[in-house]
Amino acid sequence: MSQIIIHRQFRAHTDQLRQLREWTRESAGKGGLGNDRIEQVIIGVNEACMNIIEHAYKKDPGDIIFKVWQEPGQLVFQLTDFAETVDCSRIKSRELDDIRPGGLGVHFIQQVMDRVDYIPGKDGLGNTIQMVITTA
């Protein structure tokens, strides 16, 4: 049985990232993660949100729903936007040997989380990234 830890809606703007990191810290702590793991999860969730702001909304803010829930043996972090649906097969990190700033958010997310799922919205609107951390 799943238990909702947090459910918030906010504007997709970089000035909201500090609050998102606090919600993530609080949720991960309630979910039983240790401090090192919490810091890693914060990086993953922050990167996912930045990708929504920059790539889904193209810096033209819409809304994001942030949900965290606990299931037996795992903690699930979910970000849902209402932007135009993206082609999930095109979501990838740049090559790691391509040394330059930016472009590694997807890589960081995949390194930090135990599972990452991209779920396209219906009728060409919306995207969801669901990130799972094993707790047991």
Strands (E), 13-107: 63-71, 74-84
Q: What is the pLDDT of residues 47-98, one digit of tens each?
A: 999 999 988 898 788 999 999 999 999 999 999 999 988 765 665 654 545 5
- Could you tell me the two tokens for 23? 């919600």
Residue 122 is predicted with a pLDDT of 86
Q: In this predicted model, what pLDDT tens digit does every residue of 38-60 receive, in sequence order?
A: 999 999 999 999 999 988 898 78
- The per-residue pLDDT for 101 is 46
What domains appear along the chain, each with residue ranges and CATH number? 3-134 (3.30.565.10)
Instruction: Work out the mean pLDDT of the chain and round it to a whole number.
Output: 88
Q: Are 2 and 59 in contact (CB under 8 A)?
A: no
